[in-house]
């Protein structure tokens, strides 16, 4: 598993030498895209190359990004496109996916970003996404987009544990650093994790456990974990915030949420990774099919995929890797993290079934 992570890190180092769309190129070639490899897909689903239009008017973006990311991206995009009004609509992953599905045929959003690629695979199969290869897409590794460019990755995020070390010290509990540690009776009613039915982060936890342990064993493990869960948060950032505020001693979610809070001064919190292996989310982005501001959505796609935005964002988005080849600050802290080799397409195909099994477990 560590070999997979080492390979990913090596790819990041190599890709960082390759431009995947700088801010300067985004300004002059905002909507230009290279045609993808030929496929048997019908012409209406193929990405096309179009002349770069003048970027003005508005664009409506659905996103799961944290508030600081939203603010930083809006400022960055307005530096490149000063005549563009950017409307960011923030929601959790499950809500965003459900909204895009509900609006098919009359979408109110133009672009979406955040949530795992499993959800984008599902949306692409439903015909909700418009194929588009962003400027710099040639530098993207194969795992960071689908064959027709219905979606492309923004970043890669590790699952980990947020732990209130002060609580652990006061209660004589070792800081958990394995999935098995979370079953400690001392943690009964003390863990917060997100609901996989409302949060793509929660589904990543469920999918990781099932693929790490095998479906039967993974679901059996979750039944035991449920005994120690205090509550299921609706959104991915909920567990980290609860631990930072002392509402619960342990949370499960993406490491960067906790690292950002530590940087803000919540020094009671530490981050650990499960020694058996953890999930690596491929976070997606896409232009929404039938959107009202298509040219502007494509311009935003170019920015999201650009090294310019990744470089701007990396200092306060610690512990993540960008699909375009930029490594976020603090990534070296997790170089030895064991990674589960996830089958994202399988996770997408089995999502509803696994969530139904989770519902049965947590109904008791």
Domains of the chain: 2-156+281-334 (3.40.190.10), 159-275+344-362 (3.40.190.10)
The pLDDT, as a whole number, for residue 23 is: 38
| Separation CA 94–CA 352 (nearest Å) | 12
Report pTM: 0.75
Kindly report, residue by residue over 48-78, the tens digit of the pLDDT: 334 345 789 999 999 998 888 899 999 999 9
- Compute the CA torsion angle 63, 66, 68, 70 (nearest 10 deg): 0
Rounded to an integer, the average pLDDT of 281-295 is: 95
CB-side exposure of 153: number of CA atoms within 13 Å? 28
Query: Average pLDDT for residues 293-300, to the nearest whole number?
Result: 97
Of the candidates 114, 13, 14, the one whose C-alpha atom is nearest the C-alpha of residue 332 is 13
Residues 305-316, mean pLDDT to the nearest whole number: 83
Distance of CA 86 to the CA centre of its chain: 21
Q: Which two tokens stand for residue 306?
A: 């650009």
What is the distance between the alpha carbons of residues 48 and 36, in angstroms, rounded to a whole number?
8
Cα–Cα distance measured from residue 48 to residue 130, given in angstroms and rounded to the nearest whole number:
10
Angle of helix 294-304 relative to helix 67-80, nearest 10 degrees, comes to: 110
138-146 long-range contacts (CB < 8 A, ≥24 apart) are 138/20, 138/34, 139/15, 139/18, 139/19, 139/20, 139/324, 139/325, 140/20, 140/305, 140/323, 140/324, 141/11, 141/15, 141/323, 143/282, 144/282, 144/323, 146/120, 146/121
Q: How many CA atoms lie within 13 A of 327 on its CB side?
A: 17
State the helix-helix crossing angle for 200-213 and 93-102, rounded to 10 degrees: 110
Query: Could you tell me the end-to-end alpha-carbon distance of the chain, in angstroms, rounded to an integer?
Result: 34
Q: Within 10 Å of residue 41's Cβ, how many Cβ atoms? A: 14
Higher pLDDT residue, 2 or 315?
Answer: 315
Taking only the tens place, the pLDDT of each residue in 11-41 is: 443 333 333 333 333 333 333 333 333 323 3
Cα–Cα distances in Å, from 312 out to 68, 182, 317? Answer: 12, 36, 10
pLDDT at position 331 is 66
> What does the pLDDT read at residue 324?
78
Between CA 150 and CA 145 the distance in angstroms is 8
| Strands 152-164 and 269-272, sheet pairing | antiparallel
Q: How far apart are CA 165 and CA 271, in angstroms?
A: 10
């Amino acid at each position: 598993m560590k070999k997979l992570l080492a390979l990913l890190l090596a790819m990041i180092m190599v890709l960082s030498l390759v431009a995947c769309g700088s801010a300067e190129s985004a300004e002059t070639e905002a909507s230009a895209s290279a045609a993808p490899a030929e496929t048997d897909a019908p012409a209406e689903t193929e990405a096309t190359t179009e002349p770069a239009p003048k970027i003005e008017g508005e664009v409506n973006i659905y996103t799961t990004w944290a508030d600081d990311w939203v603010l930083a991206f809006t400022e960055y995009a307005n530096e490149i496109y000063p005549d563009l009004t950017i409307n960011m609509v923030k929601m959790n992953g499950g809500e965003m996916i459900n909204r895009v599905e509900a609006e098919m045929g009359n979408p109110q959003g133009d672009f979406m970003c955040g949530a795992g690629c499993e959800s984008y695979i599902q949306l692409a199969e439903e015909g909700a996404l418009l194929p588009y290869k962003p400027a710099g897409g040639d530098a993207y590794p194969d795992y960071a987009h689908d064959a027709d460019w219905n979606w492309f990755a923004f970043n890669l995020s590790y699952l980990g544990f947020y732990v209130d070390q002060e609580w652990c010290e006061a209660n004589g509990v070792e800081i958990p650093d394995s999935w098995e540690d979370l079953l400690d009776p001392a943690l009964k009613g003390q863990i917060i994790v997100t609901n996989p039915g409302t949060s793509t982060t929660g589904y990543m936890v469920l999918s990781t456990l099932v693929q790490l342990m095998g479906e039967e064993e993974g679901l059996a493990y979750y039944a035991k974990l449920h005994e120690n869960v205090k509550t299921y948060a609706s959104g991915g950032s909920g567990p980290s915030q609860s631990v930072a505020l002392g509402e619960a001693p342990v949370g499960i979610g993406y490491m960067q949420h906790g690292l950002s809070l530590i940087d803000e001064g919540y020094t009671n919190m530490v981050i650990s990774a499960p020694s058996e292996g953890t999930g690596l989310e491929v976070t997606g982005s896409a232009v929404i099919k039938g959107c009202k501001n298509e040219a502007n959505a494509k311009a935003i796609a170019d920015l999201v995929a650009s090294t310019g935005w990744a470089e701007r964002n990396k200092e306060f988005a610690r512990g993540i890797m960008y699909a375009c080849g930029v490594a976020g600050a603090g990534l070296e802290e997790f170089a030895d993290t064991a990674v589960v080799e996830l089958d994202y397409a399988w996770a997408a195909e089995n999502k509803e079934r696994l969530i139904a099994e989770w519902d049965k477990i947590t109904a008791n």
